[in-house]
Homo-oligomer: A and B are copies of this chain.
Amino acid sequence: MPLCFLRRRCGRRLAADPVAALQYGKTNGYPPLIGLIRQRLKEKQHITCGENELLITTGSQQGLEMFAKILVNEGDTVLVEEPAFIGSLNAFRSAGAELIGVPMTAEGMDLEALDRLLTAHPETRFVYTISTSNNPTGISMPAEKRAAFYEIIKKHRVLAAEDDPYCELRFCGEIIPPIKSMDTCGQVVYFGSFSKILAPGLRVGYVCADASIIKQLSMAKQTADLQTPALPQMMIVNYVRNNDLDDHIRLLRDCYARKCGVMLEAINRYFPAGVTHTVPDGGLFLWCDLNNGVDTNEFIRAALSRQVAFVPGYAFMVDQSVKQSSLRLNFSALPAEKIAEGVQRLGSLLNG
């Protein structure tokens, strides 16, 4: 691509290093972005990440898929919190994993169940969790529970995959340091992302893990796409150097907190008394159970006919064939008045 075009389109700052922008780059990522992420992990998440312990991925989805690919053989056991993010479940399934669900409590994964399941399945390859403002529930594992989680995986000598795209979007209380921040044995593989704090269309995520795991992931990445595209990585560096990212994140947090409040208020007003729901401390989602025996994969049709969408609960389950009366609602995408109206429409369907 002619350099003058790059200059015209991206401005002098991004075009200042045309070789980095256009030529093949390093598989592990654009070095200034690697530096920036390592610094931010230290400052915000109390994670010490060595130079060889980071790999930039084409969204954290790619990190999760490659991690399953290097670790899982057909039929290997993987423990996942349940309900869990469908994209992760599908990445693990595509590597041939046999998934086993660990139930969720109001404070994240049920650790007694986790301990029991790891004893019953000593061959488990890894345990998957979104520890902060979980998708789909919006709730976080408290600090003391994170310590207990880490003790359990240490005891069983099993790896944990900690997926943390919402860590900076927690709007109730201070940041809780991730499980990775306690990891002295290299047993936690940490997945981060710019999708929720800057833009998902950039497709920039990262993995922080023991150097031996990063080395394997880097080999997998050479086969997958050689490197994450350079321009989105450079745009992030340019943005962070010339703007106040923390300020931008505060804006998002305040906005989502307000919208979540609107959704909770509308649920309390319009939904039937029997419906239970989580109270998110951050993130983008909350989780409802209609508790009325209705299959939400059927109910979705009625909702769509009223122009309201949600994700039916079955999608977040290990066994997708079981009918679920649960559903996931999103409070980040629409303006507050639309959120209230959507919940009201669902409520009138449920009451009708």
Show the binding face of A for B, using Cβ within 8 Å.
Answer: 1-2, 5, 8-11, 13-14, 20-25, 57-59, 61-62, 65, 69, 74, 87, 90-91, 94, 198-204, 220, 222-232, 235, 238-239, 243, 248
CA distance A24 to B224 in the complex (A): 20
Q: A148: shortest Cβ distance to chain B, in Å?
A: 32
- A selection of 28 A-B contacts at a CB cut-off of 8 Å is A5-B243, A10-B11, A11-B11, A21-B201, A22-B199, A22-B201, A23-B199, A23-B201, A24-B200, A57-B225, A59-B226, A62-B224, A69-B94, A87-B226, A91-B223, A94-B220, A201-B227, A201-B231, A202-B229, A202-B230, A202-B231, A203-B227, A203-B229, A204-B229, A225-B225, A228-B229, A231-B235, A232-B232
A201 lies within 8 A of B20 (CB): yes
Q: List chain B residues, Cβ under 8 A from A199.
A: 1, 21-23
Q: List chain B residues, Cβ under 8 A from A235.
A: 1, 9, 231
CA distance A57 to B288 in the complex (A): 36
Copies of the protein in its oligomer: 2
Q: List chain B residues, Cβ under 8 A from A226.
A: 59, 61, 87, 200, 203
CA distance A94 to B69 in the complex (A): 9
Dominant SS among interface residues on chain A? helix
Q: List chain B residues, Cβ under 8 A from A204.
A: 229
Closest B residue to A2 by CB, please name it: B248
Q: A94-B220, A200-B24 are in contact. Are A58 and B9 (CB under 8 A)?
A: no
Q: List chain B residues, Cβ under 8 A from A91.
A: 223
Q: List chain B residues, Cβ under 8 A from A22.
A: 199-202
Q: List chain B residues, Cβ under 8 A from A24.
A: 200-201
A90 lies within 8 A of B222 (CB): yes
Q: A266: shortest Cβ distance to chain B, in Å?
A: 25
Q: List chain B residues, Cβ under 8 A from A9.
A: 10-11, 13-14, 235, 238-239
Most buried by B among A1, A57, A229: A229
Most buried by B among A9, A61, A90: A9
Q: List chain B residues, Cβ under 8 A from A228.
A: 203, 229
A58 lies within 8 A of B201 (CB): no
Q: A192: shortest Cβ distance to chain B, in Å?
A: 15
Most buried by B among A8, A201, A228: A201
CA distance A74 to B96 in the complex (A): 12
CA distance A200 to B1 in the complex (A): 9
Closest B residue to A194 by CB, please name it: B1
Q: A222: shortest Cβ distance to chain B, in Å?
A: 7
| 4 closest A-B pairs by CB | A22-B199, A201-B230, A203-B229, A58-B225
